[in-house]
């Protein structure tokens, strides 16, 4: 059986269950039928990882900003952020 997460619907507060892979996504509540977010991205390990990623991107962007100026720093920042976003979706 696939690991699941339990949470309360944001609309009717009934208990919903979704596959762990749906965390951060949207499902339709079985009770009220409305779209509700699957929580779970708030666990400490995940927050640490996100925090680390943000610091990493900010650090590299600052370094490039000091060496090459604002435009390349902006480009690298956006590209790194997009890569991390993709990576977090793949996890």
Chain residues that interact with Zn ion, rule: CB under 5 A: 9, 11-12, 29, 31-32
Residue 11 or 47 having the CB closest to Zn ion = 11
Q: Report the 3 state secondary structure along 20-65.
A: HHHCCCEEECCCCCCEEECCCCCCHHHHHHHHHHHHHHHHHHHHHH
Beta carbon nearer to Zn ion, 17 or 85: 17
> Residue 7 or 81: which CB sits closer to Zn ion?
7
Angstrom distance (rounded) from CA 8 to CA 40: 12
Shortest reach from residue 23's CB to Zn ion, in Å: 18
């Amino acid at each position: 059986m696939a690991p699941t997460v339990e949470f309360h619907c944001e609309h009717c507060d009934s208990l919903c269950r979704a596959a762990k892979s749906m965390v951060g996504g949207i499902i339709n509540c079985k009770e009220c039928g409305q779209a509700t977010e699957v929580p779970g991205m708030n666990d400490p390990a995940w927050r640490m990882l996100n925090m680390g990623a943000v610091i990493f991107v900010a650090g590299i962007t600052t370094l490039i900003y000091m060496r090459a100026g604002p435009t390349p720093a902006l480009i690298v920042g956006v590209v790194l952020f997009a890569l991390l976003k993709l990576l977090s979706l793949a996890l």
